[in-house]
Amino acid sequence: MAEWNAYYHNEDEEEEQEEGEQSGGDYKVTGRDSLVFLVDASKEMFIKGEDGQPSNFDMTMEVVRSVYTSKIISSHRDLVALVFYGTEQSKNPRNSFKHVYVYHDLDEPGAKRVRDVDGLQGDKGAQLAADTMGSGETSLGDALWCCANLYSDIKLRLSHKRLMIFTCRDDPHGDDSTKDRQARTKASDLKETGVVIDLMHMMKPGGFDVSLFFCDIVSPPEDESELGLQLEPCDKLDDLKKRVRAKEQKKRTMSRLNLCLGKGINVAVGMYATAVMTRKPSAIRLYRETNEPVRSKTRTFHTQTGSLLLPSEIKKAQVYGKKQIVMERDEVDTIKRFDDPGLLLMGFKPMEKLKLHHHIRPAVFLYPEEDEVKGSTCLFSALLMKCREKNVFALCRCISRRNYPPRFVALVPQKEEVDHGKVQITPPGFNAIFLPYADDIRTVDAPQCPVASQMQVNKMKEIVSKLRFKYRSDAFENPVVQQHYRNLEALALDMMAPEDTEDLIMPKVEQIDQRLGPLVQEFKDLVYPNGYNPESKPAAKRKTADTGGGAEKKPKMEVSEDELKAHMQNGTLGKLTVPILKEACKQFGIRTTGTKKQELLDALTARLEITDNLDHT
Amino acid sequence: MAGAKSALVLCMDVGFSMSNSAPGEEPPFELAKKVIQKFVQRQVFAETKDELALVLFGTDSTKNPLDQDGQYQNITIHRHLMMPDFELLEEIQNQIHPESQQADWLDALVVCMDLLQRETKGKKYDRLNIVLLTDLNTGASADHLDVIIENLKKDGITLQFFLPFPVEEDEEGGGDADRRGPSHPGMGKGLSREQKNSMDMMKHIMLSLDEEDGLDQIYTFTNAIEQLCMFKRIERRPMSWPCQLTIGSSLSIRIVGYKAVTEEKLKKLWISVDAQTNKREDLKRETVYCLDDDNETEVQKDDTIQGFRYGSDIVPFSKVDQEQMKYTHDGKCFAVLGFTKQSLVHRHQFIGNQVIKIFAPKDDEWPCRPSSGRWHELKMVAIVRYAYDRRSNPQVGAAFPCIKQDYECLLYVQLPFTEDLRQFTFPSLENNKKFTPSDTQLSAVDSLIDSMMLVEENENGEQVDMFKVHQLPNPAFQRHFQCLHHRAVSPGTPLPPMEPWLKAALERPEVISERCQAPLEEMRKTFPLTEVEKKKKVKTSAQLFGKDSEEPDAKKAKGDEEEEEYNLADIAEGSVTSQLTHRIEQLLSNKNTQYYMKSITCIQAFREQSIEQGNADLYNSYLQSLKRSIPNRGLEVFWDLLVQGTISLFTWDCRISLKSFLP
Burial class from Cβ neighbours inside 10 Å (0-12, 13-18, 19+) for residue B151 reads: middle
Report yes or no on A41 lying in a domain: yes
Are the beta carbons of B416 and B349 closer than 8 angstroms? Answer: yes
Q: How far apart, in Å, are the Cα atoms of A203 and each of A166, A232, A428, A482?
A: 11, 9, 29, 32
- What integer pLDDT is reported at residue A572 of this predicted model? 67
How confident is the model over A271-327, as pLDDT tens digits?
998 888 888 888 888 988 888 888 888 888 888 888 888 888 889 999 888 888 999
Q: Which domains does chain B have, with CATH numbers?
A: 6-168+192-231 (3.40.50.410), 241-266+277-421 (2.40.290.10), 576-657 (1.25.40.240)
**Cα(A440)–Cα(A151) distance, rounded to whole angstroms?**
49
How confident is the model over B399-416, as pLDDT tens digits?
998 887 777 888 999 999
In 10 A of CB A175, how many CB atoms?
A: 7
Nearest to A434 by CA among A406, A472, A474: A406
The yes-or-no verdict on residue A536 having pLDDT over 60 is no
The contacts of residue B11 (CB under 8 Å, 6+ apart) are B54, B55, B56, B57, B108, B109, B111, B112, B130, B131, B132, B133, B134
Domains in chain A, number: 4
**Cα(B456)–Cα(B465) distance, rounded to whole angstroms?**
7
Coil, strand or helix at A392: strand
Average pLDDT on A218-224 reads: 69
Are the beta carbons of B86 and B42 closer than 8 angstroms? Answer: no
The yes-or-no verdict on residue A345 having pLDDT over 60 is yes
Q: How far does Cα B617 stand from its chain's mean position?
A: 49
pLDDT band at A519 (very low <50, low <70, confident <90, very high): confident
- What integer pLDDT is reported at residue B287 of this predicted model? 85
How large is the C-alpha radius of gyration of chain A?
31
Looking at the structure, tell me whether residues A68 and A37 fall in a common domain.
yes
Report yes or no on A554 lying in a domain: no
Q: Which secondary-structure segment (H or E) carries B628?
A: helix B617-633
The yes-or-no verdict on residue B391 having pLDDT over 70 is yes
Average pLDDT on B475-497 reads: 89
Q: Say which CATH number the domain at A598 has.
A: 1.10.720.30
- What integer pLDDT is reported at residue B168 of this predicted model? 64
**Cα(B84)–Cα(B40) distance, rounded to whole angstroms?**
7
Torsion sign over Cα A58, A59, A65, A68? negative
Burial class from Cβ neighbours inside 10 Å (0-12, 13-18, 19+) for residue A13 reads: exposed
Coil, strand or helix at A118: helix
pLDDT band at A12 (very low <50, low <70, confident <90, very high): very low
B568: left (phi over 0), alpha (psi -120 to 50) or beta: alpha
Q: How far apart, in Å, are the Cα atoms of A37 and each of A7, A80, A142, A596?
A: 44, 8, 15, 51
Which of the given ranges, A144-148, A245-249, A539-543, has the highest pLDDT on average? A144-148
Give the N- to C-terminal CA distance of chain A in Å, as an integer.
51
Contact A378 B469 (CB under 8 A): no
The contacts of residue A174 (CB under 8 Å, 6+ apart) are none
Average pLDDT on A579-607 reads: 69
Looking at the structure, tell me whether residues A243 and A271 fall in a common domain.
no
CA of B267, closest CA in chain A: separation in Å?
11
Report yes or no on A333 lying in a domain: no
Would you give the DSSP letter of residue B482? H
Range of the domain at A483: 454-467+475-527
A543 touches B at CB < 8 Å: no
Three-state SS string over A446-508 comes to: CCCCCCCCHHHHHHHHHHHHHCECCCCCCCCCCHHHHHHHHHHHHHHCCCCCCCCCCCCCCCC
- What integer pLDDT is reported at residue A539 of this predicted model? 42
With vertex at residue B340, the alpha carbon angle to CA B334 and CA B344, rounded to the nearest 5 degrees, is 115
Looking at the structure, tell me whether residues A264 and A122 fall in a common domain.
no
Looking at the structure, tell me whether residues A260 and A241 fall in a common domain.
no
Q: Which amino acid is at B220?
A: T
**Cα(B512)–Cα(B448) distance, rounded to whole angstroms?**
10
Looking at the structure, tell me whether residues A161 and A271 fall in a common domain.
no
Sheet holding B298-299, edge to edge: A294-302, B283-291, B298-299
**Cα(B178)–Cα(B165) distance, rounded to whole angstroms?**
12
Q: Which secondary-structure segment (H or E) carries A153?
A: helix A140-153
Burial class from Cβ neighbours inside 10 Å (0-12, 13-18, 19+) for residue B537 reads: middle
Report yes or no on A36 lying in a domain: yes
| Residue scoring higher pLDDT (A547 or B226) | B226
Q: Say which CATH number the domain at A431 has.
A: 2.40.290.10
Report yes or no on A309 lying in a domain: no
Q: How many CA atoms lie within 13 A of A363 on its CB side?
A: 24
Looking at the structure, tell me whether residues A75 and A201 fall in a common domain.
yes
Report yes or no on A137 lying in a domain: yes
Looking at the structure, tell me whether residues A103 and A200 fall in a common domain.
yes
Contact A471 B383 (CB under 8 A): yes
Are the beta carbons of B288 and B303 closer than 8 angstroms? Answer: no
In 10 A of CB A22, how many CB atoms?
A: 18
Q: Name residue B82's beta-bridge partners.
A: B52
Report yes or no on A359 lying in a domain: yes
A465 touches B at CB < 8 Å: yes
Looking at the structure, tell me whether residues A127 and A218 fall in a common domain.
yes
The yes-or-no verdict on residue A153 having pLDDT over 80 is yes
Q: Say which CATH number the domain at A500 has.
A: 1.10.1600.10
CA of B95, closest CA in chain A: separation in Å?
18
Residues of A in contact with B416 (CB under 8 A): 275, 277, 473
Are the beta carbons of B318 and B304 closer than 8 angstroms? Answer: no
Average pLDDT on B528-548 reads: 54
Average pLDDT on B266-291 reads: 85
In 10 A of CB B187, how many CB atoms?
A: 18
Q: Which of B256, B326, B424 lies closest to A251 in CB terms?
A: B424
Residue B9 φ then ψ, to 5°: -115, 120
**Cα(A144)–Cα(A221) distance, rounded to whole angstroms?**
20
**Cα(A143)–Cα(A84) distance, rounded to whole angstroms?**
8
Residues of A in contact with B477 (CB under 8 A): 439
Q: How many CA atoms lie within 13 A of A568 on its CB side?
A: 22
On average, the pLDDT of chain B sits at 78
The yes-or-no verdict on residue A16 having pLDDT over 60 is no
Three-state SS string over A426-453 comes to: ECCEEEEEECCCHHHECCCCCCCCCCCC
Contact B559 A29 (CB under 8 A): yes
Q: How far apart, in Å, are the Cα atoms of B219 and each of B41, B186, B401?
A: 19, 13, 41
**Cα(B264)–Cα(B257) distance, rounded to whole angstroms?**
18
The yes-or-no verdict on residue B587 having pLDDT over 80 is no
Mutate one of B312, B356, B358, B502 to test the A interface: name it (highest A CB count within 10 A). B312
Q: Name residue A25's beta-bridge partners.
A: none
How confident is the model over B130-184, as pLDDT tens digits?
999 998 887 777 778 888 899 998 888 888 888 888 876 544 444 443 444 444 4
Q: 520-539 in B: which are within 8 Å (CB) of A?
A: 520, 523-524, 527-532, 534-535
In 10 A of CB A97, how many CB atoms?
A: 22
pLDDT band at B268 (very low <50, low <70, confident <90, very high): confident
**Cα(A98)–Cα(A85) distance, rounded to whole angstroms?**
9
CA of A62, closest CA in chain B: separation in Å?
17
Q: Say which CATH number the domain at A170 has.
A: 3.40.50.410
Contact B416 A473 (CB under 8 A): yes
3-state helix, strand, coil in chain B (%, to 5): 40, 20, 40
Coil, strand or helix at B521: helix
Task: Point out the least confidently predicted range of A287-301, A461-475, B302-316, B580-594.
Answer: B580-594
**Cα(B54)–Cα(B59) distance, rounded to whole angstroms?**
13
Residue B123 φ then ψ, to 5°: -115, 160
Nearest to B14 by CA among B25, B27, B26, B29: B29
- What integer pLDDT is reported at residue B635 of this predicted model? 75
The answer to whether the pTM exceeds 0.80 is no
Q: 584-603 in A: which are within 8 Å (CB) of B?
A: 589, 591, 593
A421 touches B at CB < 8 Å: no
Would you give the DSSP letter of residue B71? B
With vertex at residue B502, the alpha carbon angle to CA A445 and CA B551, rounded to the nearest 5 degrees, is 110
The yes-or-no verdict on residue B2 having pLDDT over 80 is no
CA of A604, closest CA in chain B: separation in Å?
17
Coil, strand or helix at A254: coil
Contact A442 B516 (CB under 8 A): no
Report yes or no on A304 lying in a domain: no
Looking at the structure, tell me whether residues A174 and A45 fall in a common domain.
yes
Average pLDDT on B6-29 reads: 87
Looking at the structure, tell me whether residues A195 and A242 fall in a common domain.
yes
Contact B524 A406 (CB under 8 A): no
- What integer pLDDT is reported at residue A283 of this predicted model? 87
Which of the given ranges, A219-228, B349-358, B552-561, has the highest pLDDT on average? B349-358
B147: left (phi over 0), alpha (psi -120 to 50) or beta: alpha
Q: Which secondary-structure segment (H or E) carries A50?
A: none
Residues of A in contact with B657 (CB under 8 A): 152, 193
Are the beta carbons of A217 and A165 closer than 8 angstroms? Answer: yes
Looking at the structure, tell me whether residues A487 and A565 fall in a common domain.
no
Looking at the structure, tell me whether residues A517 and A375 fall in a common domain.
no
- What integer pLDDT is reported at residue B554 of this predicted model? 43
| Residue scoring higher pLDDT (A396 or B188) | A396
